[in-house]
Amino acid sequence: MLTPTFWEIHSGLEREGPGDEASLMRALAMTEGLPAEPRILDLGCGPGAQTLSLLKHTAGTVTAVDTHQPFLDDLMSRARDAGVADRVTTSDASMADLPFEDESFDLIWSEGAIYFIGLPEGLAAWRRLLRPGGWIAVTEPCWLKPREALPQGALDNWAEYPAMATVQELEAVPARAGYRLAGSFVLPPAAWEAYYGPMQARVDVVRARHAGDAAALAEVARHQAEIDAYRAFGDCFSYLFLVMQRPA
């Protein structure tokens, strides 16, 4: 159950997960032969940082999907400010049950979100939405070291995601789900800073605002622990960008 303080921390942030424009461009450059005006599906779009970058770096249209309507409202407001609102459609739908026709997209994008249904499960379920030869790019949490080398603090930080895999293990998933892996890379520290920098500033404000409120401060402490875990153990985990193609 997400608390009011959770939403106080998470409202109005530019992004809701690690990522940055440079990494998006690196992944996008791997989608060889993408049409000039690709039909893009952005799943778990959040407030839409990557949606806006996709609209900036392609001439395509984006259908942006999330289950949290306030994020979709933020995204549309930013798209209007950027003058690209005519190329975005939002859909308050679940990535587990998508209301789109088979083969209706050239590119599926999903940053920091496929883990809600699992990487193999998401790749299998979304495949029908891509035209043959279409592309899919996702980011997925990954261990940067063998499990036996991971300190307890790193394991504790990801205790709620037991499916977390190593880079090598993740790179084997696309072929099993019927895709060709075109390339992959680990998100750099700058992509984490783009998420945790603004979140730290927000956490500091919310902590000061709720001095003496035990429930609110417990939520603040959970967020602080997550940021601190990255600062302490960021050499043990990250996200892997995987860029894949549905064979023609």
Q: Are 88 and 55 in contact (CB under 8 A)?
A: yes
Both tokens of 96, joined, read: 């587990």
Beta bridge partners of 130: 105
Per CB under 6 A, contacts with ligand SAM among 58-117 are 65-68, 71, 94-96, 111-113, 116
Among positions 9, 15, 138, 239, the unique one binding ligand SAM when judged by CB under 6 A: 15
38 interacts with ligand SAM by CB under 6 A = no
As measured in angstroms, the least distance from the Cβ of 47 to ligand SAM is 6
- What is the DSSP secondary-structure string of 46-75? TT-HHHHHHHHH-S-EEEEEES-HHHHHHH
Q: Is 118 an interacting residue with respect to ligand SAM (CB under 6 A)? A: no
Among 46, 122, 134, 141, binds ligand SAM (CB under 6 A): 46
Residue whose token pair is 């956490």: 203
Taking the complex as a whole, how short is the minimal distance between the CB of residue 211 and ligand SAM, in angstroms?
Answer: 28
Instruction: Quote the CA–CA distance of 83 and 206 in Å, as a whole number.
Output: 32
Tokens of 171: 């790179």
Chain centroid offset of residue 40 CA: 15
Our finding on whether 143 is near ligand SAM (CB under 6 A) is no
Q: Is 20 in the site for ligand SAM (CB under 6 A)?
A: no
| 202 forms part of the interface with ligand SAM (CB under 6 A) | no
Q: Does 17 interact with ligand SAM (rule: CB under 6 A)?
A: yes
Residue 225 dihedral angles phi and psi, to the nearest 5°? -65, -40
Whether the Cβ atoms of residue 101 and residue 154 lie closer than 8 Å to each other: no
Stretch that binds ligand SAM, among 33-41, 44-52, 223-231, 238-246 (CB under 6 A): 44-52
CB of 232 to ligand SAM, least distance (A): 21
What is the rounded distance in angstroms from the CA atom of residue 80 to the CA atom of residue 138?
A: 26
67/224 with CB nearer ligand SAM:
67
- By CB under 6 A, name the binding residues for ligand SAM: 15-17, 19, 44-46, 49-50, 65-68, 71, 94-96, 111-113, 116
